[in-house]
Amino acid sequence: MRFGIVWGSIIPDVDLLISILIIAAGGSMQQALAPHRTLTHSFFTILPLALIGLALWRMGWSQSVGGGLFGVAVGMFVHVLFDLPYEVGVSFLWPLTSQRFGLLWSFPGIWAYLDQTLDFLFAAVLFYTLHRLARKYQVRETLLIPAAVASVIAFLVVVAYDLTAPSANQWLLVYAGVGLPFLILILLLPWLNRTIIYSIPLTR
């Protein structure tokens, strides 16, 4: 379940791959953002995952898979909650409606780019936190410090690019080109280091 929560908090944004393909094919930013935060952010996706996970877990058919699926659903739900303040909004009732809900505020101009660029800094914090937990619980780790350093470097590079005030379409392609390897790392490294997550005690 713990590992599922880590993955579930990241998985919803894989739909950005569709947006990237639309931009690369010459589509507009409006067309690219249309599929974003729909299927992978919908309660009609999250709820079935949670129910299937609970069924597998409680009925003893497969506690590991069931707990993992339930954890993924929890992580996805938390992801959706943190997406609500952003300008794009979230279509969490998709496919019943494509209407987006949220606070729908945005940073002006260049600050909107810098806001999204913080993703790389958050990746660095995740990797470093796992490293600290590995040291605390004396568990072997894999590639966490190099990944944290690479994330900080990517953050600084993209911040420098943000300050050039690129067009929205160009920025999305560059952000995706730099960010895709880190998305893979964020999904892969917690799995490679899952013994760290499992070593965290539930109670003191």
For residue 99, being part of any structural domain is answered with no
For residue 166, being part of any structural domain is answered with yes
Name the nearest CA neighbour of 187 among 33, 12, 26, 1.
12
pTM: 0.79
Using the predicted structure, report yes or no on whether residue 204 has a pLDDT greater than 60: no
Find the domain containing 64 and state its range.
2-83
> Would you state the structure tokens that stand for residue 52, as one six-digit string?
């299937």
Which SS3 state, helix, strand or coil, does residue 102 take?
Answer: coil
Same domain for 120 and 69: no
Reported as a single tens digit per residue, the pLDDT across 58-94 is 877 677 889 999 999 999 999 999 888 777 789 999 9
Q: How far apart are CA 16 and CA 41, in angstroms?
A: 12
For residue 89, being part of any structural domain is answered with no
Cis amide leading into 108 (omega within 30) = no
Same domain for 45 and 9: yes
Using the predicted structure, report yes or no on whether residue 203 has a pLDDT greater than 70: no
Q: Strand pairing partners for 90?
A: 101
Same domain for 195 and 135: yes
> With contact defined as beta carbons under 8 Å apart, do 16 and 180 qualify?
no
Reported as a single tens digit per residue, the pLDDT across 47-61 is 999 999 999 888 776
Which SS3 state, helix, strand or coil, does residue 101 take?
Answer: strand
* Number of structural domains found in the chain: 2
Q: How far apart are CA 122 and CA 78, in angstroms?
A: 15
For residue 151, being part of any structural domain is answered with yes
Same domain for 61 and 18: yes
Same domain for 121 and 194: yes
For residue 92, being part of any structural domain is answered with no
Which residue carries 């995706």 as its tokens?
176
* Residue 34 DSSP symbol: T
For residue 101, being part of any structural domain is answered with no
For residue 104, being part of any structural domain is answered with no
Q: How far apart are CA 94 and CA 96, in angstroms?
A: 5
Using the predicted structure, report yes or no on whether residue 98 has a pLDDT greater than 80: yes
Q: What is the pLDDT of residue 113?
A: 77
Same domain for 119 and 77: no
> Is the model more confident about 12 or about 104?
12
Q: How far apart are CA 7 and CA 65, in angstroms?
A: 13
